[in-house]
């Protein structure tokens, strides 16, 4: 067995793994007990030092943290040739035992958007077939990517099996989430295809448990969902700066930073021999993608009309999107450079649910120093009163911003329409653009919808073999999307859902609702406490005239009825019956105790156990035996040692060599030593025990004959 602490599972010496051959995870306590019993102290010290040095290595490589995830596309195979060793944090896996610790050990993270709802097919094929890879998918729409370490309600699928080789999703798999291997139970290495929803953003974590640094091939196929952006890559907009010596190119979507020729060779020259001398993608220091590029020209453009065209640069391409599709060389953007004119309130960014701020986007950059932090440059009017408390820009190193964020005193949670007006603030101006021109008074409107609640109800129909739970949501507030997650019991996209549970215990249900503007998530636990199993403990041997006590195993808090049948015609309906006295006899007697419980639902469970009331509890040792396989006297040892505690019985040959030792009086000698029959003759035995009725310690010895 092995634990999900992936970075402390092996030593480099002889590839020594703290794991068995079937790849199961070890709970932390058992893990350290294993080390202590299997390794010399010196090697243990080396192992622990090595393991914790690995655990201390944080992930710094792009793509190995949620916030720097690789953007991926569904049309191509993503090859990862090397997996640097590191760890970020604990991963929460819904429905899985807390006895296992899950971490993103040696991870890479991948980001994708769903463009057509459906099931997601996924395959991870290791370079080394002996490597064990795990994965988990999160819905992070509108969330900080790091929320994956704290919120298990956003998990949509996972597989943490300890099996090596290929893993992923398959249509014939059962579980949506497969937990880590534990207690000799290896879950399948494929999980059921999860449902993903159009317009939502997802993260995929792939973890290399084997710590081998060897890579894998990641592909998406076999499902009905589409994660390939249907939008062809194009240039969207271009604007010259005030001086006409820079062009700010906006792409129609995120594209690969690595495909942009930094020397400007992707840009076709302008009239008058004006060329691009550099291209600077924005945000590529901490990301793999960008949608903004600064093009620096060899000299300022004269006022006039121009066309921006791209060509295959020295990197043999124009600019390439995440699916390796290049912007065609036929794509053009027409623009003009004129003497700078004042800008206006150009547009407002899409408003999110329950906003406490709105963001204005400008065609020209705005000087941050001209924005009154108190928000006096803006006023608001609308369906209900709202107070502006501040304004700020996302200022670059030059003190310029392309947007201004206006903050409110409280979130706008109720449906309404509003108009924000740009005006002269307390600083004596509206706002000033990068060309030092004052922005004229102007206004823009926006609307918000009501917030939504994912709070749901459930009704349990208890059964003997299975429970049926009906989940219902009341709807309202224009909710048009429901996403249920029942863990291993699957999910649903309907407003109401019914789940049949064939196992009992605590279950978790999560619902995500949306009206296309607001979104909410609620998770509830349900205790299916009607599991019923009769069991009890009883000593299998008893002395004559001794009381026989039975100890039933604890049950749930439901109401039960009880029936004890002692095998001698006597019964009891007590939950714990009084000790029972059986009749004596000159022979050993066997009695079958039958225990039946019935709960308030009418469900019953029965178990039977056999006890032996021996004819005597006097401990005797025979003086001979004949281990010839005839079924008579084939074994040698004390008889009727029912009252013997701390029992130790040993047999020696005539040279004093120990041939047999037993600490259970029912385990007797068969006349062999290391599988070899011993010769006929005399042998010596010793017996020590504590009489449990008197607490007296007894020590005896004697001899016997082995007859062949």
For 236-277, what is each residue's pLDDT tens digit?
999 998 889 999 999 999 999 999 999 999 999 999 999 999
Q: For residue 405, give every residue at least 6 positions away whose Cβ sits within 8 Å of its Cβ, in sequence order, or none.
A: 357, 358, 359, 360, 391, 392, 393, 394
Last residue of a domain, one of 448, 475, 508: 448
- Decide if 225 is inside a domain: no
DSSP conformation class of 678? P
Assign 52 a pLDDT band (cuts: 50, 70, 90): very low
Burial class of 626 by CB neighbour count within 10 A (0 to 12, 13 to 18, 19+): middle
In-domain check, residue 226: no
Same domain, 37 and 180: yes
Cα–Cα distance for residue pair 644/664, rounded to 1 Å: 9
Please, what is the average pLDDT of the chain? 88
- CATH number, domain of 464, equals 2.60.40.10
Could you give phi then psi for residue 673, rounded to 5 degrees?
-135, 120
Query: How confident is the model at residue 554, as a pLDDT?
Result: 86
Q: Rounded CA gap, 70 and 75, in Å?
A: 15
The pLDDT score that the predictor gives to residue 22 is 31
Predicted TM-score (pTM) above 0.75: no
| CA angle, residues 72, 74, 79, in degrees to nearest 5 | 55
Among the listed residues 464, 535, 470, the one whose alpha carbon sits nearest the alpha carbon of residue 504: 464
Domain span at residue 601? 536-613
d(CA 90, CA 498): 32
Say whether both 277 and 353 belong to one domain.
Answer: no
Q: Which of 448, 469, 490 is the last residue of a domain?
A: 448
For the beta carbon of residue 578, count every other beta carbon within 10 angstroms.
10
Banded pLDDT at 348 (limits 50, 70, 90): very high
> Helix, strand or coil for residue 496?
coil
| 9 or 116, greater pLDDT | 116
Of 307, 316, 309, 318, the C-alpha closest to 266 is: 318
Predicted local confidence at residue 578, as pLDDT: 95
What's the first-to-final CA gap in the chain, in angstroms? 47
> What's the pLDDT score for residue 44?
34
321 & 193 share domain: no
Say if CB 393 and CB 437 are below 8 A apart: no
> pLDDT tens for residues 507-561?
999 999 999 899 999 999 999 988 888 999 999 999 998 999 999 988 877 789 9
Whether residue 230 is contained in a domain is answered as no
1 touches 184 (CB < 8 A): yes
The answer to whether the CB of 681 falls within 8 A of the CB of 654 is yes
- Judge whether residue 4 has pLDDT over 50: no
In this structure, of 167-176, 184-193, 583-592, the range with the lowest mean pLDDT score is 184-193
Determine, yes or no, domain membership for 228.
no
CB 109 within 8 A of CB 71: no
For residue 522, is it within any domain? yes
In the chain, the percentage of residues whose pLDDT exceeds 70 is 91
Q: Does residue 680 have a pLDDT over 60? A: yes
Q: Tell me: do 569 and 664 sit in the same domain.
A: no
Query: Do both 69 and 130 map to the same domain?
Result: yes
What's the sign of the alpha-carbon dihedral 170, 176, 180, 184?
negative
- Beta pairing partners, 87: 105
The token pair that represents 433 in the structure block:
């653009």
Residue 182 binned pLDDT confidence (cut-offs 50, 70, 90):
low
Same domain (yes/no): 114, 215: yes
Per the structure, the count of domains in the chain is 6
User: Dihedral through CA 693, CA 696, CA 697, CA 701, nearest 10?
Assistant: -80
Q: Return the closest-CA partner of residue 80 out of 218, 209, 210.
A: 218
371 and 394 both lie in a single domain: yes
CATH of the domain at 633: 2.60.40
Given 613, 640, 657, which residue is the final one in a domain? 613
243 lies in some domain: yes
Residues 127 and 58 in one domain: yes
């Amino acid at each position: 067995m092995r634990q999900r602490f992936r970075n402390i599972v092996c030593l480099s010496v002889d590839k020594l793994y703290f794991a068995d051959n079937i790849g199961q995870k070890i709970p932390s306590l058992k893990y350290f007990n294993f080390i202590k019993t299997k390794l010399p102290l010196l090697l243990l010290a080396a192992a622990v030092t090595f393991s914790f040095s690995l655990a201390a290595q944080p992930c710094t490589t792009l793509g190995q943290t949620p916030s720097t995830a690789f953007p991926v596309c569904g049309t191509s195979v993503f090859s990862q040739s090397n997996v640097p060793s590191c760890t970020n944090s604990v991963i929460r896996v819904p429905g899985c035992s807390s006895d296992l610790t899950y971490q993103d050990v040696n991870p890479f993270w991948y980001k994708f958007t769903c463009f057509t709802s459906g099931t997601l097919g996924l395959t991870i094929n290791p370079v080394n077939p002996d490597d064990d890879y795990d994965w988990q998918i999160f819905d992070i729409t509108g969330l900080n990517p790091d929320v994956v370490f704290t919120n298990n309600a956003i998990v949509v699928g996972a597989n943490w099996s300890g099996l090596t080789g290929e893993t992923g999703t398959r249509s014939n798999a059962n579980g949506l989430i497969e937990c880590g291997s534990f207690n000799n139970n290896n879950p399948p290495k494929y999980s059921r295809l999860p449902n993903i929803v159009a317009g939502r953003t997802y993260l995929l974590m792939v973890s290399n448990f084997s710590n081998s640094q060897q890579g894998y091939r990641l592909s998406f196929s076999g499902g009905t969902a589409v994660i390939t952006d249907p939008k062809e890559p194009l240039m969207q907009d271009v604007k010259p700066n005030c001086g006409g010596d820079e062009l700010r190119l906006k792409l129609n979507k995120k594209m690969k930073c690595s495909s942009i020729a930094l020397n400007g060779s992707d840009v076709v020259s302008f009239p008058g021999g004006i060329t691009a001398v550099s291209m600077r993608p924005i945000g590529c220091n901490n990301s793999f993608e960008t949608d903004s590029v600064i093009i620096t020209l060899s000299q300022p453009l004269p006022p006039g009309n121009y066309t921006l065209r791209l060509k295959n640069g020295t990197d043999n391409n124009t600019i390439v999107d995440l699916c390796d599709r290049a912007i065609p060389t036929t794509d053009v953007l027409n623009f003009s450079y004129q003497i700078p004119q004042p800008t206006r309130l150009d547009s407002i960014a899409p408003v999110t649910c329950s906003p406490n701020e709105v963001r204005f986007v400008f065609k020209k950059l705005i000087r941050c120093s001209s924005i009154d932090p108190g928000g006096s440059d803006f006023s608001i009017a609308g369906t209900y009163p709202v107070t502006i408390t501040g304004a700020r820009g996302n200022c670059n190193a030059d003190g310029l911003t392309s947007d201004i964020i206006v903050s409110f005193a409280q979130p706008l949670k109720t449906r309404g329409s509003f108009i924000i007006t740009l005006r002269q603030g307390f600083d004596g101006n509206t706002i000033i653009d990068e060309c030092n021109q004052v922005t004229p008074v102007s206004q823009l409107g926006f609307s918000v919808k009501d917030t939504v609640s994912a709070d749901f109800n459930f009704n349990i129909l208890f059964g003997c073999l299975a429970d049926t739970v009906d989940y219902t949501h009341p709807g309202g507030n224009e909710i048009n999307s429901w996403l249920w997650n029942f863990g291993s019991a699957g999910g649903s996209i309907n407003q109401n859902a019914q789940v049949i549970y064939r196992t009992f215990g605590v279950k978790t249900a999560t619902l995500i609702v949306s009206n296309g503007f607001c979104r909410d998530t609620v998770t509830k636990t349900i205790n299916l406490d009607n599991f019923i199993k009769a069991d009890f403990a009883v000593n299998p041997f008893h002395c004559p005239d001794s009381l026989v006590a039975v100890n039933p195993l604890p049950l749930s808090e439901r109401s039960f009825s009880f029936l004890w049948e002692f095998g001698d015609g006597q019964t009891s309906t007590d939950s714990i019956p009084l000790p029972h006295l059986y009749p004596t006899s000159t022979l050993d007697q066997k009695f079958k105790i039958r225990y039946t419980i019935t709960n308030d639902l009418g469900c019953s469970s029965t178990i039977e156990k056999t006890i032996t009331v021996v004819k005597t509890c006097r401990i005797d040792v025979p003086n001979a035996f004949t281990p010839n396989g005839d079924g008579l006297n084939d074994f040698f040892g004390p008889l009727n040692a029912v009252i013997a505690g701390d029992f130790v019985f040993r047999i020696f040959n005539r040279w004093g060599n120990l041939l047999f030792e037993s600490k259970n009086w029912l385990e007797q000698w068969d006349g062999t030593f290391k599988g070899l029959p011993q010769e006929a003759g005399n042998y010596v035995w010793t017996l020590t025990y504590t009489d449990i009725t008197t607490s007296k310690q007894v020590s005896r010895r004697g001899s016997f004959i082995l007859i062949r």
